[in-house]
Amino acid sequence: MKMIINGKKVDSESGLTFDVLNPATGEVIESVPKATEKDVKAAIDAAVDGQKVWAEVPVWKRAEVLYKFLDIVDANKEELAQTLCAENGKPIVEARAEIGNIKIGFSGFIEHAKHYYGSIIPQGQEQGQDANLQLVTREPIGVVACIIPFNFPCDLYDQKVAPALMMGNAAIVLPSSDNPLTLMKLTEMLVEAGVPNGVIQCLTAPGSVKSTAVTDPRVHLVTLTGSTEVGIDTAKLAAANLTHTALELGGNDAFIVLEDGDVDLAVEEMIWGRMYNTGQVCCASKRFLVHNSLKEEFAQKAVERIKQLKVSMPSDESSQVGCLISEKAAIKVEKEVEKTVEQGGKIVLGGKRNGAFYEPTVIVDVPKTADVAVDMEIFGPVVPIIGFDTDEEAIEIANKSIFGLSSCVFSRDQKRAFKVASKMEAGGAVINGASFFRAFEMPFGGWKHSGIGTEGVFSTFDEMTLSKTIVLKNIL
C-alpha cells in the first residue's frame, strides 16, 4: 500500500519500505512506505494550503462529504474488518464491531457540528459595557497531527479525524507502525468521498519521524493516544512552539468489589473489562481490589469463567481471545507477570506464552505493595487480585497510582458505591460495571499521568478550535 500525501497515493521519498506482519502467524500482510522527515514536511506543506480551502467550506457541505465517506465504509466493511483482524490480532467479531463504530462515531461528530454555535455577551452585562456587543466564535485551530495507537486504531481515528475535519481543520494521520493498513484504507476512502487535497493525509512513519510533525510550528494541535512516556516526550517537544496538545495516555485502573458487591456480576464485567482486545485497553480494569471476605470466591469464579473462553486464531469466527499486537508485547507481559509472582503473587490460571499469544492469567495473593498494585500497567489478559478490609483502604490503594484514567466499584448499596466512586482520582468511574467504558458522546480523558484534555462529542470540538471574540464597540 501507499501513503496519502496531498490527495495522492505515494511512496516514501527514500523508496524504503517496512513489512506489516500478522501477529498471530508471523506472516507478512503488506509492505508500506517508510516515511522520512521530508515526507512529513511535504504533508504539512499540503495541509497548510488545504486547510485554508476546507475552512471556507460550510459545515453542511463538510457533513455531506463525511456522510459519503460512511457510505463507502459501509460498502467495504467486511474487507476493513478482515484487514483489521489480520494486522491487529483481535478476534474477527471484535474487528467487525470496531468497523461498525465508525458510523456511530463520525455521525455523532457530524451532527454535533451542525449545532456547535457561538455565543453573544449582550450589552450591559458589566459596568462600562452598556453600548458594546461581544460576539464569541469558535475558529479552526489549523493543522492537526493525529497520532494513533495500535489497540483501537479505527475507534481513535473516529475520535480524532471526524472532529478535526468537521471543525474545518486539516488532519495528518500517523498510525502505529504495527498495524497501519486499515487506517490507510480509511484515509483513501475520505479522499474518494471528496475531502480536498491536503486536508486528510496518512503517513506510515517510525516513531522518531513522527516527532517531525510535533516540532513543526505549522502544526497547531497534536492529539495523541499512547503511553504516558511517549505522551510526556511529546508534550516536551510541543512546548517549544506552544503547540496545543491533547494526550490520552496510560492507565492502571482499579476494579473494586466491596463486601456487599455482586460477585457474579463482577466476574462477568471482568470478562468484558479485561479480556476484550486481549487486555490491550487503556481503560481496562487492571488492578482487581476485592474485599477479603469475597477474594477466594471471586478468584474461583474468575478462573471458571475464563476457562470457558475460546482462545484461538483471531480469524476464527468463534474466537473470543486473540493474540497480542506482537511477540515483543507478549514477552513484556510475560516478564511483568513473573515480577508479580516474585513480589508475592501466585498464578492459579494461565501464565504461559506462545509467540504473540499470552494465556488469560489470574494471579492471587498479590500484595498491595507489588508494582502491579500501583503503577505497573500490564497490557494483556491478566487479572491480579489484591485484598482489602475497608472502603477507605480500597480507595487508598486505588489512588496510590500515578495513573487516573478510569475506575469502577461494585456494591449493592448505590449510595455507598457513589461515595467510593466520587473519591477515586480518575477521569471516569463506573458503578457496577468494569472501568472499560467509553461512549462516543462522553468526555473521555484521565487525571494525573493518564493525560491532558478529553475526547468525545461532548468536548473534542473545544480542543480542536480557538476562541475569538469580535467586539462591536458602541453599536448600541
Cα separation, 140 vs 257, in Å, equals: 45
- Give catalytic status of residue 408 as yes or no: no
- Is 397 within 8 Å of 372 (Cβ atoms)? no
Burial string for 25-56 (b: 16+ CB within 10 Å, else e) reads: beeebbebbbbbbebbebbbebbbebbeebbe
Alpha helices in 361-442 (DSSP H): 391-399, 414-423
* R_g (Cα) of the chain, nearest Å: 23
How many Cβ atoms are within 10 Å of 376's Cβ, its own excluded? 17
DSSP annotation of 193 reads: H
Tell me the backbone φ, ψ of residue 448, rounded to 5 degrees: 55, -130
Q: Identify the helix (H) or strand (E) that includes residue 84.
A: helix 77-88
Cα separation, 24 vs 22, in Å, equals: 6
DSSP annotation of 372 reads: G
Cα separation, 415 vs 316, in Å, equals: 44
- Is 217 within 8 Å of 41 (Cβ atoms)? no
Tell me the backbone φ, ψ of residue 158, rounded to 5 degrees: -60, -45
- Give catalytic status of residue 248 as yes or no: yes
Could you report how far apart the first and last alpha carbons of the chain are, in Å? Answer: 60
DSSP annotation of 111 reads: H
Pairing, β 346-349 against β 143-147: unpaired
Cα separation, 274 vs 283, in Å, equals: 9
Catalytic member of 282, 283, 323, 408: 282
Hey, CA dihedral for 437, 443, 447, 449, is it positive or negative?
Answer: positive
Catalytic member of 248, 359, 425, 455: 248
Calculate the alpha carbon distances from 87 to 29, 315, 329, 332, 362 in Å.
7, 11, 14, 19, 27
Pairing, β 170-174 against β 119-121: unpaired
List, by residue number, the catalytic residues. 248, 282
